[in-house]
Amino acid sequence: MVLFNLETEQTRALYQKNPSFITHLECSMHGDLYEKGMPHGLSEAGKPLLVRYDLEKIKQSVTKHEIEKRAGGFWKYREFLPVQHPENVVSLGEVMTPLVPLKNSVPEGTEVIVKDEGRLPTGSFKARGLALAVAMAKELGQSHLAMPTNGNAGAALAAYASYAGLKTTVFCPDDTPETNVREIELQGAKVYKVNGLINDCGKIVLDGKDPIGWTDISTLKEPYRIEGKKTMGLELAEQYGWDVPDVIFYPTGGGTGLIGMWKAFAELEAIGWIGSKRPRMVAVQSTGCAPIVKAWEDGVEHAPLWQDAHTTAWGIRVPAAVGDFLILRAVRESKGFAIAVSDEQIFQARDKVAEKDGFLLCPEGAATFAAWQQALETGQVRKDERVLLFNCATGLKYPMPDIDRRIDCHQPIDYDLFK
Ligand SMILES: *Cc1c(COP(=O)(O)O)cnc(C)c1O
């Protein structure tokens, strides 16, 4: 019997030989240092903490070739991750997510590839971040985790935490897709619908820390989700033959993935596995909630709270991001840009790619396609640039149009209909 189980003899031996290479954590704004091996939230300045490693030791301990030979998904990059003990690794059967080139929905002569994150456990890339957050919570002895979510993060937290034997409480806006709300509850969490937005849910979690003693797993308020999302950058570099695409379009809510990939590329360059070339990083938002786009256009480092946020791309309906300055830095340093698309463009893109290429994107994934199309028209990207889009969740989780084409099988069938 072949089980998907990371606690094999081989993995245990690897972890014993190389416990994590984490050295410390660091405030992403001011650079002050924090000790590893103990629970942390935000830095003293209220900014996200970044995990630092002994990169020289990573370089001496593992080669690209060894990594390429390992099976499975993101846990195979274990030298680049903070978990010390193999028994804290929590895995639900991750895969390396495939790169699917679009064919009929893009003009000839363009290279547009979609990284399909919908293949991960719980059907979204939130699996990456939350697997790491849960593994580290377990390692640090935290037993009750709480979070605000627009859906997918809560689902991934619930699933990984239940597998790890930890308790979870989740708060989501009351218009979160029903599939998300129900999967969260079924996967072992207690889920509550809140008549507000994700930042209102976040406040409930924050204010509950003292009376309940739960750990706040909000985006970037614990340091390890970035490390999980970082694996998207590691995986991409490996899949591109230790190179990177020319442009990455990333659907940006809290921005964890964009920040994480940027960190991954820096770590890979530091150990000499990739060169200094970077993809241009493009933050994609919705015209109904575009704080990062506005801050990018205004040339400022922090994005003010976006009022009256609305979009049916729930994953990117984030009116305020704690890591705004990190997203904006990566976008600017990479000579990328930030761009907003309307819900109408998003759903047109979803329908087009599904119809022509048989690929059902989630709304946020469709937003990256719509943004690429728009950027091609305005000249922000060139036709010859190698483009990577993210399909961050399976399109099957989202409401789809009704079909009411009916056949009465007790009457003669009019075959002319099907010509
Ligand atoms: C969370 C989420 C996003 C945004 O990801 P961040 O890294 O937090 O910006 C986009 N799309 C979907 C489907 C999501 O679940």
Query: Going from the N-terminus, what domains does the chain have, and what CATH number goes with each?
Result: 9-88 (no CATH), 99-123+225-397 (3.40.50.1100), 126-216 (3.40.50.1100)
253, pLDDT greater than 60: yes
Atom 3 in ligand 1: residue holding the nearest Cα: 315
Strand partners of residue 172: 193
pLDDT level of residue 412 (50, 70, 90 thresholds):
very high
Q: How far apart are the CA of 390 and the centre of ligand 1, in A?
A: 10
Residue 385 in contact with residue 246, Cβ under 8 Å? yes
Return d(Cα 80, Cα 75) in angstroms, integer: 9
Mean pLDDT (the chain) is 95
| H or E segment to which residue 191 belongs | strand 190-194
Mean predicted confidence (pLDDT) in 307-334 = 94
**By three-state DSSP, how is residue 25 classified?**
strand
7, pLDDT greater than 60: no
Residue 147 in contact with residue 41, Cβ under 8 Å? no
1, pLDDT greater than 80: no
Q: How far apart are the CA of 251 and the centre of ligand 1, in A?
A: 6
Is residue 218 within 6 Å of ligand 1 at its C-beta? no
- Considering the entire predicted model, what is its pTM? 0.95
Return d(Cα 16, Cα 231) in angstroms, integer: 22
**By three-state DSSP, how is residue 146 classified?**
strand
338, pLDDT greater than 80: yes
Instruction: Give CA separation, 304 vs 218, 295, 336, in Å.
Output: 19, 8, 21
Question: Percentage of the chain with pLDDT > 90?
Answer: 92
Q: Please give the structure tokens belonging to residue 66.
A: 């060894």
pLDDT level of residue 12 (50, 70, 90 thresholds):
confident
Mean predicted confidence (pLDDT) in 306-325 = 92
**What is the sign of the dihedral through the CA atoms of 395, 399, 404 and 409?**
positive
373, pLDDT greater than 60: yes
Residue 121 in contact with residue 139, Cβ under 8 Å? no
Q: How far apart are the CA of 322 and the centre of ligand 1, in A?
A: 14
Q: CA neighbours within 13 Å on the CB side: how many for 147?
A: 27
Angle between helices 343-357 and 363-378 (to 10 degrees): 100
pLDDT at 2: 64
Full 3-state SS string of 28-75: CCCCCEEECCCCCCCCCCCCCEEEEECHHHHHHHCCHHHHHHCCCCHH
Q: Please give the structure tokens belonging to residue 109.
A: 């002569």
pLDDT level of residue 210 (50, 70, 90 thresholds):
very high
212, pLDDT greater than 90: yes
Atom 5 in ligand 1: residue holding the nearest Cα: 253
The string of pLDDT tens digits covering residues 215-240 is 999 989 999 999 999 999 999 999 99
